[in-house]
Structure 1
Amino acid sequence: MAEVHIIGQIVGASHFPKHSLFCKWQIHYGNGWRLISGLKEGQTHVDNPQYDEKAYWSHPVDIHFATKGIQGWPKFHVQVYHLDHWGRSELYGYGFCHVPASAGTHIVDCVTWRPVGTLRDQIRQYFVGGGPQLKNIELAYCGYDRYRLQTETMGIVHMELGIILRHFDKFGVEFKFM
């Protein structure tokens, strides 16, 4: 079987409206893929930078897959949360990005968004906190019904990923570099 090894880190996040952020992440892949080793989900610590706009997590990622084809190529799904001074976590954004399909080191920026809701939801969010969240989390990375949602752009999650590909040539998959 062909193999894909993903080694790297979730570096941090930037351009969010408030500090004190943490990230929950998952990696999704097709039915033809098998997880050999590593975790397919995790959560970073909370970073509350005092003097910088960017939150730094440096959360390690080490995942090893086996596959017989490229259909269902892995993608990261992230959820960024803000932790307020009362200890409540508020959703700040959903996002997803595909794992790069070429070997080497890659810098990946995952743009996030969140549902806006009605005017009543926005007023409630301003005074009480919280806000609208997705009932079906698959909408964040599948896309079909997501385009009917009213959303707003949030910040960016930064990743550094090293990709190692093995035995793809034995299964007739060629990667051409330009």
Structure 2
Amino acid sequence: MSISSPSVFLLNVTGQIETGRFMGGDNLYFNYSFASGQDWEVILGLEECASQSARRSDDERQVFVWNFPIDITFKSTNPFGWPQIVICIYGKDFFENEVIMGYTACHIPITPGIHTRRLTTFVPESASTVQKLMSWLTGRRPEFVDPKLITQGRGREVTRVRSQGEITVTFNVMMKDFAKFGYDCGATGRTPYLAAPVKPPPSITVPREGQSDA
């Protein structure tokens, strides 16, 4: 009885979006989504989701704690267009207007195991000082029409942005059938390198006083 070879490989990603640090603002929440190539398909889990609001901690760390879970499974036949997670953080400004507080994105780690990523967030800048003043007065700050634009390299050179904060994400990555397609992702299970055993030094007999070595 022959066993047929798999037609796809699987990528399962769990983890959580843990904490964030931002200058200004409070009661922050985020939306996350996944961007991937045409050969990738979500077969289990949520591709887009919104978190709860979090307040800035009262201790010296001044962090926002979400601990929001991630759980998604992809299938594909081609690693091109490896999935990326896109995170958009929102909050309220001085005038209580809901504005974007930061964008960030990163690829899902390409090796199985637990990985922690500290991602820098950024916001788009107005093209001129007048537009910057008007956006501040009206509460309509520059935003991307499609947040997944930040996962692409095309057109990024004409986009003006500035750093806004950082966010910490933990991934737990599991892979299936990658090796059967000929891809080496650094999976565990290889035979470890074993060094040759070190032989103990030969015993040396010290002659007593009055005895010869013969």
Corresponding pairs, count: 177
Q: Which residue matches 1:104?
A: 113
Q: Which residue matches 2:83?
A: 74
Q: Which residue matches 1:65?
A: 74
- More displaced 10-residue stretch of structure 1: 118-127 or 18-27: 118-127
| Residue identity (%) | 22
Tell me by how many angstroms 1:66 deviates: 1.2
Q: What TM-score results when the alignment is normalised by the length of structure 1?
A: 0.90
Runs of 4+ aligned structure 1 residues displaced above 4 Å come to 84-87
RMSD (Å), alpha carbons: 1.9
Please tell me whether the aligned partners of residues 27 and 92 of structure 2 are also in contact (alpha carbons under 8 angstroms): yes
- Structure (1 or 2) with the larger CA radius of gyration: 2
SS in 2 for 1:18: coil
The unaligned stretches of length 5 or more in structure 2 are 1-7, 188-214
SS in 1 for 2:180: helix
Q: Which residue matches 2:165?
A: 155
Q: Does 1:164 align with 2:174?
A: yes
Aligned ranges for residues 5-154 of structure 1 at < 5 Å? 5-51=12-58, 52-84=61-93, 88-117=97-126, 118-154=128-164
Q: Which residue matches 2:193?
A: none
Please tell me whether the aligned partners of residues 86 and 148 of structure 2 are also in contact (alpha carbons under 8 angstroms): no
Tell me by how many angstroms 1:110 deviates: 2.1
Tell me by how many angstroms 1:62 deviates: 0.6
Equivalents in 2 of 1:93, 1:115: separation in Å? 9
- Whichever structure has more strand as a proportion of its residues is 1
Tell me by how many angstroms 1:130 deviates: 3.2
Instruction: Answer 1 or 2: higher relative contact order, Cα 8 Å, separation at least 6.
Output: 1
The unaligned stretches of length 5 or more in structure 1 are none
Q: What TM-score results when the alignment is normalised by the length of structure 2?
A: 0.76
